[in-house]
């Protein structure tokens, strides 16, 4: 499984060295690297059934500080590595038409993927942080060079938010290292160091918010919609699909894993809020409802999906804050599910529709009657939209159901309020669907004639392949959630038990 | 018998999905694919009907682990009720595909693909015994129905489809929330909760379910019952949740209307019998009076509203509301609170009669209503889209066979003895009169008004002087007669020999009543 990191970085390096004027070569090369990564991830995942935490590499890296080069994976990591593999392959399929500096595009892309794999497999806090930073840099360039609407602004906003978050994480990390005095930065050593409760109380929110920024936590989410919209299709898919998961993963692995007592009650409560747990759960709930309501008001197709990501990531954070088995299970499952579904939605909006119509405004899409001209896009969006709404049979349903059940056990009001978010979710998805594809107005003769002259380019095979890959994943997980839950459940159990010590 | 060893219910559900996948990519040949698929489904459903256990219990059970931590299990099974609904869905879908002959020029592959997906949704929801599984198929039927209305409907299809979607979705959310609450209440620290209908029904019968819910969430059991009832009430529909229906039925293309009224409305009635009454029996019994009031209102107002329409499709839409109102009347009437009267044998007999009637009425209305919308679609294709009752006149002269066969279907809808519609309504009234004579008496008014409505239709469309432009109204051609003959034959057959169905469903009725506690 660790080879996923190696081949991604090696691939990035080689892609950068490929000749600039041979985009076809760069594409196939990148696809081959990503497919190899996916194959390794699948093999590693399949081998992980029934296994607990597997340690792949453990070498002392910086002996003076006790920094280890420790790569390990438990069920949660394996699920997210699998997600990264799937997202990276589909992202390349949907950026088949990138012609500008193709080799560099894929070099940055693969570097980003390598960083993401690294974060999910790190067993050492410092190493995790290094990979986390590595992932941010290529993201900036991907958006700033290959992006669309206000790309410099979006890229800069994203980078600044990320760095602020990283700075918070870094402070927390150093403080934890010093306080623990264990002379080791491995997660296991820090978790068992017995950090004082009062220390955890202030360090936990610092780290949680630091990671939470990247997970789209309200009110620090504003980078997400602008970043998603500015990014080229593949980058939005990766942003929503895996980069936001980095934040959520950090919240879980580092925030909850290292500072479990940071969630203890303060002893005083104000308006029913008596701990950091209540604070962050409410922020998550607000994010769910706010993201959904804002998505309902958008006129730009991609912004709808951007805000829906904020709403869906709110479910992940809420699931984490339930601190019970089923809720955290649901949160991890939702990370996977949202990665797949958001990837599919961004692919349709950004690649399949925008690259053909060159507009994302509903007002301009409505008279285009895309359900007739791009039936494949329309029906794929129906499929992805239904999955995103959380209808049964798709991965989102199982994940959100578990989170709601977990939240109910923690605090029923959270469930009730987030239920409103789900209903609004149905509304904004359906609204976008009707506006973008299924307009009721019949085309005028003039429009029909214009259509004849201006035929939209046909759907290409990479698009079919990418849709098939992502669609199959959400359906398989939706119909047979045990395929992921069998690995998630024991890992979450261990993590929560470790936290309770 | 090794036939029983096959996962025949799964097979039946998967078959239309396979057909749908083929149909989508077979363009203008899609109808042929759909015809063969639906024909195979009819045969398979009849095989299932003959394999049902004789004691009326649930047979052909298939179970497999699915997602145990969420109480989700793959659990299928049918008794007489489910089996009859499978046969009905299969027949109605076959009729709909048959009726779609001339109407689908636009994207036929997609049309028939969606119809077959809808059929799979019907089969799945009539066989599922676990909430998650059932809910999956319940929603699966909703999505194709929405697009069938939205893409192939009449001029106001957009708003009709949206209204249909929003109403049904709101009902689904209410259902989901209720079952979520039940799942949470039945779960403990060590074991996940259950969503299994059979298990929940057993827990409801011995009272432990209500205790668990009350201990966990407080006295919310009646609210959960209302949530579940609301979900089904929209689908059937029960007044005042019916307002989506006339627009959806009128705007949908006729084959889709046949599916909506013939099969999908039965999902609601079936849900009441399989899910609501067994699990929320005491709560429904406690609300019996207001529910009976609503059911009687549905019967009477449905008929009355039908009398006020001039669009034939809307006449039939309201008349469908009226006919399903009898089912609701029978269902709510038999929920006699246990404290009110010790279960005497006379009450038991009345309950059995009413329930037999309800199930028969579900089947008969499905066949008859689907046939009637089929006739309307033929009228439309012959008259260039007209379907107002005042647009026609004297059709029996130029088209005697058409008039005769549609007349039979109309009389079946009216409830003429000797035709299928009579038996179900008779048994419902026979049961309801001794269980709640007031609501029965009020509902008789609905019977009268229905008779007036249907006779008016017959008079205005078939009798009177022949309008000049209809002098050459083409009669049924050979193919249409062949297609309609089995349906009309079935109306006579079930009217004259209702035992064909009653012999199989009566054990189920007794079995159900023996397990329900009110």
CB–CB contacts below 8 A, A to B: 54
Report domain extents, chain B: 294-518
Written as one string, the DSSP assignment of B116-127 is: HHHHHHHHHHHH
Look at residues B78, B100, B88 and name the one whose alpha carbon lies nearest to residue B28: B100
Q: Give CA–CA dist B461/B464, Å, rounded.
A: 8
In b/e form, how buried is each residue of B271-294, taking b as 16+ CB within 10 angstroms? bbbbbbbbbbbbbbbbbbeebbeb
Out of A371, A392, A422, the one facing B136 most closely (by C-beta) is A392
B49 near B83, Cβ under 8 Å? Answer: yes
Paired residues of B311 in beta bridges: B388
ipTM of the complex: 0.76
Interface residues from chain A to B (CB-CB < 8 Å): 326, 329, 371, 375, 382, 386, 391-393, 398, 401-402, 404-405, 408-409, 419, 422-423, 426, 430, 434, 438, 440, 480-482, 485, 489
Out of B68, B140, B184, the one facing A405 most closely (by C-beta) is B184
Q: Is A35 exposed, middle or buried (0-12, 13-18, 19+ CB in 10 A)?
A: middle
pLDDT reported for residue A249: 92
What is the DSSP code (8-state) at residue A256?
A: I
Q: Give CA–CA dist B206/B244, Å, rounded.
A: 38
Mutate to test the interface with B, among A397, A440, A478, A489 (most CBs of B within 10 A): A440
CA distances from B4 to A178, B54, B75, B128 (A): 69, 14, 16, 17
Residue appearing with tokens 């970085």: A9
CB atoms within 10 A of CB A231: 30
Q: Give CA–CA dist B485/B133, Å, rounded.
A: 37
Q: Give CA–CA dist B407/B463, Å, rounded.
A: 11
Residue appearing with tokens 């008794």: B79
Q: Give CA–CA dist B89/B49, Å, rounded.
A: 13
Tell whether B147 is within 8 A of chain A (Cβ): yes
Written as one string, the DSSP assignment of B380-448 is: HHHHTS--BTTS---TTTT-HHHHHHHHHHHHHHHT-TTSHHHHHHHHHHHHHHHH-HHHHHHHHHHHH
Q: Alpha helix (H) ranges present in B335-344?
A: none
Q: Give CA–CA dist A4/A21, Å, rounded.
A: 28
A468 near A476, Cβ under 8 Å? Answer: no
pLDDT reported for residue B125: 92
* Average pLDDT score, chain B: 84
Tell whether B180 is within 8 A of chain A (Cβ): yes
Q: Give CA–CA dist A413/A419, Å, rounded.
A: 10
Q: Give CA–CA dist A464/B460, Å, rounded.
A: 55
- Cβ distance of B143 and A423 shorter than 8 Å: no
- Cβ distance of A398 and B67 shorter than 8 Å: yes
Mutate to test the interface with B, among A322, A405, A475 (most CBs of B within 10 A): A405
The per-residue pLDDT string of chain A (501 residues; one tens digit each, 9 = 90 and over) reads 778 788 787 777 777 777 777 788 888 888 888 898 888 888 888 888 888 888 888 888 888 888 888 888 888 999 999 999 999 999 888 888 877 788 888 888 888 898 899 999 988 888 888 888 888 888 888 888 888 777 888 888 888 888 888 889 899 888 888 888 777 888 888 888 778 888 888 888 898 998 999 888 888 888 888 888 888 888 888 888 888 899 999 998 888 888 888 888 887 777 777 788 888 989 999 999 999 999 888 888 888 998 999 999 999 999 999 888 888 999 999 999 999 999 999 998 888 888 888 888 888 887 777 777 888 888 889 999 989 988 888 888 889 888 988 888 888 888 888 888 888 888 899 888 888 888 777 667 777 777 777 777 888 888 888 899 999 999 999 888 888 888 888 888 888 887 433
pLDDT reported for residue A501: 33
pLDDT reported for residue A335: 92
pLDDT reported for residue B397: 77
State how far residue B95 is from chain A, nearest Cα, in angstroms.
27
Tell whether B167 is within 8 A of chain A (Cβ): no
Look at residues A272, A297, A295, A209 and name the one whose alpha carbon lies nearest to residue A414: A272
Written as one string, the DSSP assignment of B100-159 is: GGGT--SSHHHHHHHHHHHHHHHHHHHHB-BHHHHHHHHHHHHHHHHHHHHHH--TTHHH
Look at residues A325, A317, A415, A420 and name the one whose alpha carbon lies nearest to residue B181: A415
Q: Give CA–CA dist A437/A432, Å, rounded.
A: 8
Nearest chain B residue to A477, by CA: B67
CA-based torsion, B274, B280, B286, B292: positive or negative: negative
The per-residue pLDDT string of chain B (518 residues; one tens digit each, 9 = 90 and over) reads 455 567 888 888 888 889 888 888 887 788 888 888 988 988 888 888 888 888 878 888 888 887 777 778 888 888 888 889 999 999 999 988 888 876 667 778 888 889 999 999 999 999 988 888 899 898 888 889 988 888 887 778 888 888 888 888 888 888 888 888 888 888 776 677 788 888 888 888 888 888 888 887 778 888 888 989 988 998 888 888 888 888 888 888 888 999 998 889 999 999 999 988 888 888 888 888 899 899 999 988 988 988 888 888 888 899 889 999 899 988 888 887 765 555 566 777 888 888 888 998 999 999 999 999 988 888 888 877 788 887 777 777 788 888 888 888 888 888 888 888 888 888 888 888 888 888 888 888 888 888 888 888 888 888 877 777 777 777 778 778 888 888 888 888 888 888 888 888 888 888 888 888 77
In the numeric block, which tokens belong to residue A396? 């989102």
Residues near B177 by beta carbon (within 8 Å), at least 6 away in sequence = A419, B227
Q: Give CA–CA dist B132/A398, Å, rounded.
A: 10
In total, chain A counts a number of residues equal to 501
Tell whether B64 is within 8 A of chain A (Cβ): no
- Cβ distance of B183 and A423 shorter than 8 Å: no
Q: Give CA–CA dist A25/A37, Å, rounded.
A: 18
Mutate to test the interface with B, among A371, A379, A391, A409 (most CBs of B within 10 A): A391
Q: Is A449 exposed, middle or buried (0-12, 13-18, 19+ CB in 10 A)?
A: exposed
Nearest chain A residue to B132, by CA: A392
In total, chain B counts a number of residues equal to 518
Residues near B109 by beta carbon (within 8 Å), at least 6 away in sequence = B23, B24, B25, B26, B27, B28, B30
Nearest chain A residue to B193, by CA: A405
Residue appearing with tokens 């290959």: A146
Q: Give CA–CA dist B203/B186, Å, rounded.
A: 10
Report domain extents, chain A: 3-500
- Cβ distance of B169 and A426 shorter than 8 Å: yes
Look at residues B86, B96, B113, B142 and name the one whose alpha carbon lies nearest to residue B21: B113
Q: Is A247 exposed, middle or buried (0-12, 13-18, 19+ CB in 10 A)?
A: buried
pLDDT reported for residue B103: 60
Residue appearing with tokens 């494949």: A376
B180 contacts on A by Cβ (under 8 Å) = 401, 404-405, 408
Written as one string, the DSSP assignment of B454-483 is: HHHHHHHHHSSSPPGGGTT-----HHHHHH
Cis before B237? omega within 30:
yes
A215 near A313, Cβ under 8 Å? Answer: yes
State how far residue A110 is from chain B, nearest Cα, in angstroms.
35
A69 near A124, Cβ under 8 Å? Answer: yes
Q: Give CA–CA dist B454/A194, Å, rounded.
A: 82
Out of A326, A393, A423, the one facing B173 most closely (by C-beta) is A423
Angle of CA points B183, B184, B188, to nearest 5°: 105
Element (DSSP H or E) covering residue B59: strand B59-67
3-state secondary structure A54-107: EEEEEEEEECCCCEEEEEEECHHHHHHHHHHHHHHHHHHHCCCCCCCCHHHHHH
State how far residue A484 is from chain B, nearest Cα, in angstroms.
10
A326 contacts on B by Cβ (under 8 Å) = 69
In the numeric block, which tokens belong to residue B505? 């469903």
3-state secondary structure B200-241: HHHHHHCCHHHHHHHHHHCCCHHHHHHHHHHHHHHHCCCCCC
Nearest chain B residue to A372, by CA: B107
User: At residue B42, what are phi and psi to the nearest 5 degrees?
Assistant: -60, -45
Question: Helices B345-383 and B400-414: crossing angle, nearest 10°?
Answer: 150
B496 near B420, Cβ under 8 Å? Answer: no
A246 near A128, Cβ under 8 Å? Answer: no
B173 contacts on A by Cβ (under 8 Å) = 422-423
First vs last Cα of chain B: how many Å apart?
A: 38
Q: Calculate the CA dihedral of residues B232, B235, B240, B243 and round it to 10 degrees.
A: 160
Out of B66, B69, B139, the one facing A391 most closely (by C-beta) is B139
Q: Give CA–CA dist A172/A112, Å, rounded.
A: 24
User: At residue A63, what are phi and psi to the nearest 5 degrees?
Assistant: -60, -35
Residues near B462 by beta carbon (within 8 Å), at least 6 away in sequence = B392, B394, B395, B396, B403, B406, B407
Tell whether B177 is within 8 A of chain A (Cβ): yes
- Cβ distance of A482 and B67 shorter than 8 Å: yes
Paired residues of B76 in beta bridges: B62, B128
- Cβ distance of B69 and A391 shorter than 8 Å: no
């Amino acid at each position: 499984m660790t080879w996923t990191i190696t081949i991604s970085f090696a691939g990035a390096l080689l892609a950068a060295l490929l000749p600039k004027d041979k985009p076809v070569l760069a594409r196939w090369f990148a696809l081959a690297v990503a497919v190899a990564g996916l194959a390794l991830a699948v093999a590693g995942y399949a081998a992980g059934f029934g296994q607990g935490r597997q340690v792949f590499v453990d070498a002392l890296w910086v002996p003076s500080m006790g920094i280890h080069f420790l790569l390990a994976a438990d069920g949660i990591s394996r699920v997210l590595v699998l997600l990264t593999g799937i997202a990276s392959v589909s992202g390349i399929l949907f950026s088949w038409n990138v012609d500008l500096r193709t080799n560099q595009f894929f070099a940055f892309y693969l570097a980003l993927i390598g960083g993401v794999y690294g974060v999910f497999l790190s067993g050492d806090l410092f190493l995790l942080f290094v990979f986390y930073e590595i992932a941010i840099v290529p993201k900036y360039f991907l958006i700033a060079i290959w992006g669309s609407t206000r790309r410099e602004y979006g890229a800069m906003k994203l980078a600044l938010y990320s760095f602020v978050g990283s700075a918070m994480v870094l402070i927390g990390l150093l403080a934890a290292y010093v306080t623990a005095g264990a002379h080791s930065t491995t997660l296991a050593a820090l978790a068992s160091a017995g950090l004082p409760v009062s220390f955890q109380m202030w360090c936990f929110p610092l780290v949680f918010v630091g990671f939470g920024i990247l997970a789209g936590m309200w009110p620090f989410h504003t980078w997400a919609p602008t970043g998603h919209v500015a990014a080229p299709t593949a980058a939005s898919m990766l942003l929503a699909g895996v980069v936001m998961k980095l934040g959520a993963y950090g919240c879980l692995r580092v925030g909850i894993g290292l500072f479990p007592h940071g969630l203890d009650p303060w002893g005083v409560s104000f308006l029913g809020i008596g701990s950091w747990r209540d604070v962050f759960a409410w922020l998550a709930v607000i994010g769910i409802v706010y993201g959904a309501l804002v998505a309902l008001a958008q006129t730009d197709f991609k912004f709808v999906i951007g805000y829906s990501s904020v709403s869906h990531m709110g479910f992940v954070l809420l699931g984490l804050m339930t601190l019970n088995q089923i809720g955290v299970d649901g949160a991890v499952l939702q990370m996977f599910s949202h990665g797949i579904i958001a990837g599919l939605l961004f692919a349709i909006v950004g690649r399949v529709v925008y690259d053909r119509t060159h507009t994302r405004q509903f007002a301009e899409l409505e008279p285009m009657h895309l359900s007739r001209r791009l039936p494949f896009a329309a029906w794929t969006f129906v499929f992805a939209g239904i999955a995103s709404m959380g209808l049964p049979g798709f991965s989102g349903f199982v994940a959100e159901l578990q989170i709601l059940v977990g939240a109910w056990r923690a605090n029923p009001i959270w469930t009730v309020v987030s239920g409103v978010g789900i209903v609004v979710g149905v509304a904004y998805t359906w609204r976008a669907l009707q506006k973008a594809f299924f307009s009721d107005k019949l085309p005028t003769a003039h429009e029909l004639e214009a259509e004849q002259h201006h035929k939209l380019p046909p759907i290409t095979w990479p698009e079919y392949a990418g849709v098939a890959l992502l669609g199959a994943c959400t359906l398989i997980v939706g119909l047979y959630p045990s395929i992921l839950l069998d690995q998630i459940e024991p890992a979450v159990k261990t993590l929560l038990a470790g936290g309770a010590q | 018998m090794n036939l029983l060893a096959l996962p025949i219910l799964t097979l039946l559900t998967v078959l239309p999905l396979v057909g749908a996948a083929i149909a989508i990519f077979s363009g203008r040949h899609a109808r042929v694919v759909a015809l063969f698929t639906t024909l195979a489904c009819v045969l398979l459903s009849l095989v299932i009907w003959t394999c049902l256990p004789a004691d009326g219990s649930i047979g052909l059970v298939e179970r497999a682990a699915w997602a145990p931590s969420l109480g989700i299990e793959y659990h299928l099974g049918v008794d007489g009720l489910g089996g009859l609904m499978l046969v009905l869905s299969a027949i109605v879908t076959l009729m709909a595909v048959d009726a779609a002959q001339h109407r689908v020029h636009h994207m036929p592959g997609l049309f028939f693909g969606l119809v077959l997906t809808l059929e799979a949704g019907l089969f799945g929801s009539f066989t599922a015994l676990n909430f998650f599984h059932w809910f999956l198929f319940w929603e699966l039927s909703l999505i194709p129905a929405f697009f069938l209305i939205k893409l192939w409907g009449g001029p106001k299809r957009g708003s009709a489809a949206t209204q249909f979607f929003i109403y049904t979705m709101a009902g689904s959310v209410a259902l989901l929330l209720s079952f979520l609450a039940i799942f949470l209440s039945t779960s403990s620290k060590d074991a996940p909760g259950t969503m299994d209908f059979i298990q929940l029904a057993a827990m409801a019968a011995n009272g432990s379910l209500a205790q668990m819910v009350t201990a966990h969430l407080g006295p919310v059991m009646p609210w959960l019952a209302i949530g579940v009832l609301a979900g089904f009430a929209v689908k059937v529909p029960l007044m005042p949740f019916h307002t989506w229906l006339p627009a959806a039925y009128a705007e949908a293309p006729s084959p889709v209307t046949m599916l909506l009224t013939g099969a999908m409305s039965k999902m609601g009635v079936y849900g009441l019998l399989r899910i609501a009454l067994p699990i929320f029996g005491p709560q429904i019994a406690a609300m019996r009076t207001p529910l009976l009031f609503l059911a009687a209102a549905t019967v009477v107002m449905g008929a009355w509203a039908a009398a006020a329409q001039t669009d034939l499709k809307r006449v039939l839409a309201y008349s469908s509301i009226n006919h399903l109102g009898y089912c609701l009347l029978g269902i709510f009437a038999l929920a006699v609170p246990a404290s009110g009267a010790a279960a005497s044998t006379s009450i038991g007999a009345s309950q059995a009669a009413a329930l037999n009637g309800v199930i028969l009425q579900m089947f008969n209305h499905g066949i008859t209503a689907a046939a009637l919308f089929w006739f309307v679609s033929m009228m439309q294709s012959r008259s260039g889209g007209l379907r107002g009752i005042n647009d026609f006149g004297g059709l029996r002269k130029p088209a005697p066979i058409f008039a005769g066969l549609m007349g039979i279907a109309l009389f079946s809808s009216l409830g003429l003895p000797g035709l299928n519609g009579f038996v179900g309504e008779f048994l419902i009234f026979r049961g309801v009169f001794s269980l709640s004579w007031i609501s029965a008496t009020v509902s008789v008014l609905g019977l009268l008004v229905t008779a007036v409505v249907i006779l008016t239709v017959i008079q205005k469309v078939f009798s009177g002087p022949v309008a000049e432009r209809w002098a050459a109204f083409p009669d049924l051609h050979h193919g249409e007669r062949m297609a309609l003959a089995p349906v009309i034959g079935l109306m006579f057959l079930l009217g004259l020999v209702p035992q064909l169905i009653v012999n199989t469903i009566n054990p189920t009725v007794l079995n159900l009543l023996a397990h329900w506690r009110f």
